[in-house]
Structure 1
Amino acid sequence: MVDTKSWLKYQKSLCREISDTSTMIFQAFFDCMNFTSWFFLSFVLLILSDVIRNRRPRNFPPGPWAVPLLGNIFTGVDYKTMHELAQKYGPVFSLRRGSERMVFVAGYKMVKEALVNQLDNFVNRPIIPLFHVILKGLGISMSNGYLWKKQRKFANTHLRYFGEGQKSLEKCIEVECNFLCEAFKEEQGRPFNPHYIMTNAVGNIISSVVFGHRFEYSDPSFRKILELDNDALLLAGSAQAQLYDAFPGLMKYLPGPHQTVHTNYREIMTFLNREIEKHQEEWNPDDPRDFIDAYLSEMEKKVQAEIDRVVGQSRLPTLTDRPKLPYTDAVIHETQRVGNIVPLGLPKMASKDSTLGGYFIPKGTAVTTILSSVLFDKNEWETPDVFNPEHFLDSEGKFQKRDAFLPFLAGKRVCIGEPLAKMELFLFFASLLQRFTFRPVPGKMPSLEGVMGFNNSPEEFRMQAAPR
């Protein structure tokens, strides 16, 4: 019979020896690890983590093997390569750019299935980092949901006719045909490059619709815009520029063709903004000349049309009308968000020792919340730096609350005047827009830059209020 005490003593001694041996092994392991070894170990763990995290989902479309961390960035992005991949993997296949998976559809049968038979399933536009930097998810091409539906409906309505006397698009094209033929005639049969003459002609049709005028083929400023656009489109299709879509956080700090794409489009946007500002100064809502004028008029009356439909002109708006005026409500909320009236909340004080973000905050420490960082948080708002009422509208055009909308603070110290302020904002705003159309003084657009004090207030300005 085994002595229990001796057996337990033996077991403890054995465990101690195993523990000491394990400690010595781990100590020896760490002692022999130099910087290169640690770097290699970290790299292996990083790769393993990427492989596990980015495993192909069950029954996901097939595709070529993806390089850990990088994906299929070495696979060509041209259409010929896509054809070859479709031949190898079938009409529905996938690639990986960084950690993002992309599905490609080839052949009439599957393309029709995606775009026609399942048209509602594949209608939204993903964020394309290369263009999102400039377009920020706005416009017909990059927007989604309610915003996209309204933009597309407006464009379809107003692109049919435009300008003085409702000239047709056909007439506009006929006029440009004469200029185009004259430009070709001036070459007198000599060899010449027709590229920018043709591009200028096509651009002039768009310019006539959007700006209300065309540009001479010899105009250096418009020629530069055409060249910038042409270069950007060519570079956007290059494999190097596609790297930006895979790793935008890293690539934005590195040189490459994506930087040229962004620079070119910023110059183009500056050109477009000058045209818009000129239209705003000369705008007459009773005589729209082109697409920009029509768009400015639409911007003016979106709220007014909703108020007219729900409230009419025989009475003032009431709070009971608010649920039926989602767009009006959204404009008010977006104005508050962008207005950023109180960028910094009044300081609070820690009433006891606390922990915030993993940091120790001793009792009595003053704590200030930066409200502007919430109202413009890129992780909370689709287009934080752009006035966009659709932030507060769902895909059906109904008003939706947003948790990150905190102009009155939050918690126990929330502004006590919030209910009163909300009533004032809605009733004042709806009543004024019901009765008046507001316009800037010609040539004197109000500044959108606030005057910084404790609060953020607008610079003094003058405006015109035309009774409706």
Structure 2
Amino acid sequence: MELSVLLLFALLTGLLILLARGRPKARGHLPPGPRPLPFLGNLLQMDRKGLLKSFLRFQQKYGDVFTVYLGPRPVVIICGTEAIREALVDQAEVFSGRGKIAVVDPVFQEHGVIFANGERWKALRRFSLATMRDFGMGKRSVEERIQEEAQCLVEELRKSQESVHKEIDQVIGSDRPPALDDRAQMPYTDAVIHEIQRFADLIPIGVPHTVIKDTHFRGYILPKGTEVYPILSSALHDSRYFEKPDDFNPAHFLDASGAVKKNDAFMPFSIGKRICLGEGIARTELFLFFTTILQNFSVASPMAPEDIDLTPQETGVGNVPPNYQIQFLPRQRG
């Protein structure tokens, strides 16, 4: 019995010593943040419903740049439009490393354009861009292929009475297939697409970056190898750039004359050297599919628009749109 008591006392003493030591030495170079526990870091302080809510809560207390420990590993969290752009654009090369993702690292082992680093990543990115251009990215040929697919979707919708995702209706008065050139005549439609992307918030936390060399950032020293999480959602809902960030409002992307305006906080594909390679083709697909559907159908919902909840559902580090019931009512052609 006495031995058990001594062992318990020794264990408690060791734990108290660890707690007294507090944060690891590297912490002195990094931004402030919630105090970590030994081994567990800040995991017990994380919201069970997802990392994003926890990070946004910490942002309120510690500001746009802070450090959390995911277990024993320190991660610098960057929130807000200015801080994210300062890191990924102004210091793009320094923040161009790719952090490890435990669930995918054993599979990819730093191969592939998303997860590679260094010269391997640069070579893969050049090869990927060249290949996508060969397949027609940025050319009229790929636009024509997307239009064909959009028309196939329209035909399937005409055959089916099934419900699908998303709720938006914008009348486009033309019988011809839409083209990218139409964007100049359809600023409101383009603004609606931007707002759908912003509000859907499908990738709220950018894929982890790493610092490839020691650097100063906002008054702190980031040692080489430090992992960095850009919280894209904090930019897409930044009240400094969107008048009503929690409301669905296409006017966020329209100027006083009704033309589409650029917004520095709009970064659904991330920004900087690690920006999504498929951004261009994704924007083309969104515009052509959206406008093709709305040329051919009116969209109706069984519930009143004000009763529809547009809040994305958080699933770990990603979001998915809620399920909606929708009717596609064929338009009458004159």
After TM superposition, the score normalised by the length of structure 1 is 0.33
After TM superposition, the score normalised by the length of structure 2 is 0.46
Asked which structure has the greater RCO (Cα within 8 Å, sep 6+), the reply is 2
Q: Which has the higher helix share?
A: 1
